[in-house]
Amino acid sequence: MSGSPPKDSTPNREQTFMSDLKVLRLVKKSEGDLPEKAFTAEVVAQPEPKPVTAPVSRPVAAPAIKSVPGRGKQPRRQQEQPSLSREEMLKIFRTMYLSRRLDDKEIQMKGQNRIFFQISGAGHEAILVAAGLCLKPGHDWFYPYYRDRALCLQLGMTPLEMLLESVGAEADPNSHGRQMPSHWGHKKLNIVSQSSPTGTQLLQAVGCAEAGYRVKLVRELKKLVKGFHNDEVVYVSLGDGTSSEGEFWEALNTACNLKLPVVFLLEDNGYAISVPVEVQTAGGDVSKLISGFPNLYRQRCDGTDPLESLATMRRAVDNCRKNRGPSFVHAKVIRPYSHSLSDDEKLYRGEAERVSDAEHDPIKRFGALLVQEGIADQDELQKLKDEIDREINEAADIALASSQPAPETVLDFIYSPSVDPTGPEFDTEDRLEFTGNPGTMVDLINRCLHTEMKRDPRVIVFGEDIADCSREESLSQVKGKGGVFKVTANLQREFGSARVFNSPLAEANIVGRAIGMATRGLKPVVEIQFFDYIWPAFHQIRNELALMRWRSGNEFSAPVVMRVPVGGYLKGGAIYHSQSGVSLFTQIPGLRVVYPSNALDANGLLRTSIRCDDPVLFLEHKHLYRQAYNKSPYPGEDFMIPFGKARTVREGSDLSIITYGALVQRSLVASKQAEQQGISVEVIDLRTLNPYDWNAIAESVKKTSRVIVAHEDTMSWGYGAEIAARIANELFEHLDAPVRRVAALDTFVAYAPQLEDAILPQVADVLKAIVELKAY
């Protein structure tokens, strides 16, 4: 077994047991290999015991739910079982049974068309109750997945709160009626809002743990990050199918590399909907595949045995609590119900397999153990079950009578309700205090990062190649990298490697970790090296970053700033260094998209991005980084430009050009050339694309009655299509000519300069559109 166990691990003892009922073999042993064919009907396990009336009232070494090794094999050694009182044993059973009956109640309600979706945690209850017993709600942090009902109950979520989510009630603390059932989230308990995509939570959990790691390294952060504890642990769970996702491996890589206190719980029920584990995973065993990860304490357990699970989880949590690095628990469980009520397992699972799962039900087995050991008799258990059923029925009645969210609230919490980056407090353009010599866009972005990091210790900067030198012993001997465009130069030298550091070459890793850090109160400003390579992170951006606040009903937020070099006109940038697909991001509610055209605007808009409370995609055109025509002196440490405020860069009366980015300068040049032909052109620089300044557009169109929308993105389905459509819809009576668009061809940017020139819009293209539109 690789991975060092905690030094105070308890000794092993042998346990075997034989009976005459054929059932599936349960995987025993917290450490060592899982059998190649776990769960086969080749072994026998214990029968239903006879009632024993004498209860146990003192703490006892809890008996194991015994499993049998395969025929002809030596018995497996098992870790010592924990000592539990009678009351503790009964509480474990109660939570497990409560979880199962909540699943059953939801299934009943779905059949009655009183709820609209159901996915159960049946068969996973034992390992999840054990996990909840080892962790501290409101102290530790939790990133569960949809099977984790029993964990959430153990942490303190109530049956009523779960059923409020089932019926989509406004009072639902998980999402306030915005997410499906079993999408857990609870601010008070530190259960971070969960979404449907499997695996996205893993990188966020690592980022959450990394926030604590950074707090320990940066003294000032301890006063600024609320709820931090030196011994806090981050729990994250996944199914065996999710281990096929690349983000699973990215999360393990960073957690092990930084020795973060993350408990990874793999709940292996053998199926990802209908796909069995041997099809999902090479060799059918994830634990074998991860055996080479350093600093990772790995264990296996029978996840249907709450006592073995408890012993295993205690060791895993203790390992993290003592800052020894991450822990990985591979718990073998069952799935006695279909994947969800939208699935029918009979279509792909044989009857013998399903029957065997049912016979290995953790509720049945643990109840039988309680009776066998004299902890409770059948009458006591039945009384407990009846009490739980009454509790659930009462909670269901309350939930069904609860108020639904009002339709007018659907737009609430797309963005921060308390910090408005479009407001006057972010508008200091009339209070400029220029100092120093004019600097390029790179210079003023860099200086903004310096001043904002000095102002706010919560600002953390990371990405690929953005540090000066990761090997600090060489820092004094080298000039330093500071990003491929030198935008982050000398940040590491000034603020240290705890706040400025390189990431792996993995874009989802960058954004996912940043979300976890932002959830904890840090302010990550991350760099994606080229817009062309942002797509591995698109999943995190679209489904997690932009939705965190809305889907949780403002319980959680993730104000991350993503700096991204973008655009063409580079001579040699070619296909994979010249893309401009901004419309794929501007259509995402919850994400601010900023696109400055000059050094001054870049400085003010980046400062607004960092100080606002929303996620921001900050696009920096590579061609504009060092142009002499867009230089500016430094405007001061509080210079900000509000989002949604366009700038009229040229007044005109005959025609308006609505543009942004690299097309601003090309439009200005074309407008000066048009002036020689007697045409007066007004040029509007949008500066931010979501939100955009509709009022400025409308005023200019009303003034000139002719309009061109110009951008570097492709013509078809490009950003300008929305602007043009809205002008045609809302300003039609003010138009004297059709709305004209100037954009790139519907193809890719080529390497050869003459091809790039033909593909991207040039000054001549803008001038031609001006002349033709004026003559209409």
Cis bond upstream, residue 642 (ω within 30): no
SS3 671: helix
What one-character DSSP code corresponds to residue 623? Answer: G
> Cα–chain-centroid distance for residue 77?
39
Q: Name the helix (H) or strand (E) containing 153.
A: helix 149-155
Using CA atoms, how far apart are residues 615 and 629, in angstroms rounded to an integer?
A: 30
Using CA atoms, how far apart are residues 451 and 459, in angstroms rounded to an integer?
A: 11
Q: Are 207 and 517 in contact (CB under 8 A)?
A: yes
Percentages of the chain per state (helix, strand, coil), in multiples of 5: 40, 15, 45
Q: Which amino acid makes up residue 325?
A: G
Residue for token pair 């396990």: 45
Which residues does the annotation mark as catalytic?
577
Joined together, the tokens standing for residue 664 give 């601003």
DSSP E strands, 6-131: 12-14, 21-23, 43-45, 60-61, 77-79, 83-84
Joined together, the tokens standing for residue 763 give 């000054």
The DSSP secondary structure of 90-120, one letter per residue, reads HHHHHHHHHHHHHHHHHHHHHHTTSSS----
Residues 533-562 as b or e (16 or more Cβ within 10 Å = b): bbebbebbbbbbbbbbbbbbbbbbbbbbbb
What one-character DSSP code corresponds to residue 435? Answer: E
What one-character DSSP code corresponds to residue 619? Answer: E
The closest alpha carbon to 297, from 331, 264, 342, belongs to 264
Using CA atoms, how far apart are residues 315 and 308, in angstroms rounded to an integer?
A: 11
Number of Cβ atoms within 10 Å of the Cβ of 769: 22
Q: Are 689 and 722 in contact (CB under 8 A)?
A: no
